[in-house]
């Protein structure tokens, strides 16, 4: 009964938010209103190793404003029991969970095989974390399909109905089928949501050529915190920034909207840390939205009003059609290099157009660039990095000269 009352209260509180039209107008009015979020996270509902409430508590306590829990081909709905195995790590996880939320909240059952815990659903636990203007949860799923043994994973953000694994006769066909299903649901429900392509280099599953053939996809992970995803590529395999630029080279030539780059944790491991584990806190997006509300966040991201980060923060971003300018937020003892990169109109490879050392960066378009984006590199080592020796970084979204972003 207690949980039912909390759920009803949650529905009342969050049904009072603004409608899509109001939200869009409020978003346009905002100039500097950054929200930190992670759109790729796992729990015991699939292959993560902690309870969803513990995960949400970590993100909220560590300064995030929004999170999407994206377990593989499942929502946090219905009845599911998780066994407390004899593993010391799993026993410790259960003890911490019980201590944090108490026996009145943690539902268990026990037999000769041991203890099982009922996993709490999203609608049950969200009331404990969501605060208007401070923290919100976006319903998500990692739609996990495959072709010829290759894992083809696409996240869906703010989705309403579960989308099952998709099939097809090629990597491109499978991915396109997933994208189409998400967009079909968006259109049929009139609810803002979007797909994003996860970790293309995970098991070398998705090539640049595959990505170039997609239609309707606006987002992919330029950075993913999982140790197996090869963000920087390897011999004979491009890194994610090369993917990004080559995709946009093709998209512009074929009159497709630009592809935006996001950073995510893809967190699975919450009790052991190190480069061999997939930990929380490695990559995120900073979204400049009117309000902390699903429609506002999605509208802002679809406009490209966000940047990806592993630690660097920026402010005063502006692109007026003639150039790009922004400030890197200062940190004592930390130095920054800002690189403006892109591809020229008659080129086919990424170039560094300008490099600036310091906190204030600007670049004036010369007229021969196809698109320009910025990468910020600090001299501060990232805490618990994807790869040993990584420095904190940030990536702004590409801009086509002449297009105005305010």
Q: Report which secondary-structure segment, H or E, holds 12.
A: helix 2-14
User: Which pLDDT does position 291 carry in this prediction?
Assistant: 97
CATH number for the segment(s) 1-77+121-309: 3.20.20.140
Cα–Cα distance, 159 to 392 (Å, whole number): 31
Host H or E run for residue 157: strand 150-157
Contact partners, residue 62, CB within 8 Å, separation at least 6 = 280, 281
- Amino acid 143: pLDDT: 99
Cα dist from 87 to 91, 275, 371, whole Å: 6, 21, 51
CATH 3.40.120.10 assigned to domain 316-406? The reply is no
What is the Cα–Cα distance from 178 to 192, expressed in whole angstroms? 16
Task: Give the neighbor-by-neighbor strand order of the sheet with 260-264.
Answer: 140-147, 150-157, 194-197, 219-224, 260-264
CB-based contacts of 229, cutoff 8 Å, min separation 6? 199, 201, 202, 221, 266
**DSSP label at residue 353:** E
pLDDT at residue 279 in the model = 98
DSSP string of 160-214?
A: -S-------SSHHHHHHHHHHHHHHHHHHHT---EEEE--TTGGG---HHHHHT-
Taking residue 111's Cβ as centre, other Cβ atoms within 10 Å add up to 7
Question: Residue 400: helix, strand or coil by DSSP?
Answer: coil
Give me the pLDDT at residue 405, please: 59
Per-residue pLDDT for the chain (406 aa), expressed as one digit of tens each?
Answer: 344 444 444 444 444 455 444 444 444 444 689 999 999 999 999 999 999 999 999 999 999 999 999 999 999 999 999 999 889 999 999 999 999 999 999 999 998 889 999 999 999 999 999 999 999 999 999 999 999 999 999 999 999 999 999 999 999 999 999 999 999 999 999 999 999 999 999 999 999 999 999 999 999 999 999 999 999 999 999 999 999 999 999 999 999 999 999 999 999 999 999 999 999 999 999 999 999 999 999 999 999 999 999 999 999 999 998 999 999 999 999 999 999 999 999 999 999 999 999 999 999 999 999 999 999 999 999 999 999 999 999 999 999 999 865 5
Q: How far apart are CA 260 and CA 213, in angstroms?
A: 16
What does the DSSP 8-state code read for residue 73?
T
174 and 201 Cβ atoms separated by less than 8 Å: no
Contacts 24+ apart (CB under 8 A), 60-64: 60/129, 60/135, 62/280, 62/281, 63/36, 64/36, 64/37, 64/38, 64/135, 64/284
Give the residue among 360, 368, 274, 285 at the shortest CA–CA distance from 324.
360
Q: What are phi and psi of 152, to 5 degrees?
A: -120, 100
Q: In which element (H, E) is residue 54 found?
A: helix 52-61
Instruction: Give, as one character, the DSSP assignment of residue 321.
Output: S
Whose CA is closest to 193, among 148, 160, 242, 237? 160
- What does pTM read for this prediction? 0.93
Exposure on the CB side of residue 15, measured as CA atoms within 13 A: 6
Which residue ranges make up each domain of the chain? 1-77+121-309, 81-118, 316-406
């Amino acid at each position: 009964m207690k949980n039912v009352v909390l759920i009803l209260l949650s529905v009342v509180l969050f049904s009072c938010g603004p409608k899509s039209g109001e939200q869009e107008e409020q978003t346009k009015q905002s100039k500097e209103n950054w929200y930190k979020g992670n759109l790729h996270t796992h729990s015991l509902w699939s292959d993560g190793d902690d309870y969803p409430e513990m995960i949400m508590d970590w993100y909220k306590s560590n300064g995030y404003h929004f999170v999407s829990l994206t377990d593989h081909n499942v929502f946090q709905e219905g009845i599911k029991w998780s066994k407390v195995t004899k593993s010391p790590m799993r026993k410790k996880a259960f003890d911490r969970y019980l201590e944090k939320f108490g026996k009145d909240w943690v539902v268990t059952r026990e037999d000769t095989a041991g203890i099982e815990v009922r996993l709490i659903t999203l609608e049950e636990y969200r009331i404990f974390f969501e605060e208007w203007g401070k923290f919100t949860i976006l319903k998500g799923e990692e739609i996990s399909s495959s072709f010829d043994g290759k894992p083809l994973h696409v996240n869906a953000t703010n989705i309403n109905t579960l989308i099952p694994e998709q099939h097809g006769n090629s990597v491109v066909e499978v991915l396109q089928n997933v994208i189409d299903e998400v967009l079909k649901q968006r259109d049929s429900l009139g609810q803002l949501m979007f797909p994003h392509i996860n970790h293309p280099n995970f098991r070398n599953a998705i090539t640049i050529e595959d990505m170039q053939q997609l239609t309707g996809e606006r987002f992919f992970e330029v950075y993913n915190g999982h140790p197996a995803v090869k963000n920087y590529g390897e011999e004979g395999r491009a890194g994610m920034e090369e993917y990004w630029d080559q995709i946009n080279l093709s998209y512009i030539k074929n009159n497709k909207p630009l592809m935006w780059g996001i950073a995510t944790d893809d967190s699975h491991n919450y009790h052991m840390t190190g480069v061999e584990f997939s930990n929380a806190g490695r990559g995120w997006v900073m979204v400049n939205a009117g309000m902390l509300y699903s429609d506002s966040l999605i509208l802002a991201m679809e406009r490209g009003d966000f940047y990806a980060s592993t630690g660097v923060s920026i402010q005063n971003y502006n692109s007026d059609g003639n150039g790009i300018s922004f400030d890197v937020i200062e940190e004592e003892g930390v130095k920054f290099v800002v690189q403006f990169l892109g591809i020229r109109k008659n080129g086919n490879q990424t170039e560094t157009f300008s490099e600036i050392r310091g906190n204030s960066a600007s670049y004036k378009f010369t007229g021969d660039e196809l698109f320009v984006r910025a990468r910020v590199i600090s001299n501060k080592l990232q805490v618990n990095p994807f790869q040993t020796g990584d420095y904190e970084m940030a990536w702004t979204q590409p801009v086509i000269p002449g297009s105005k972003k305010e």
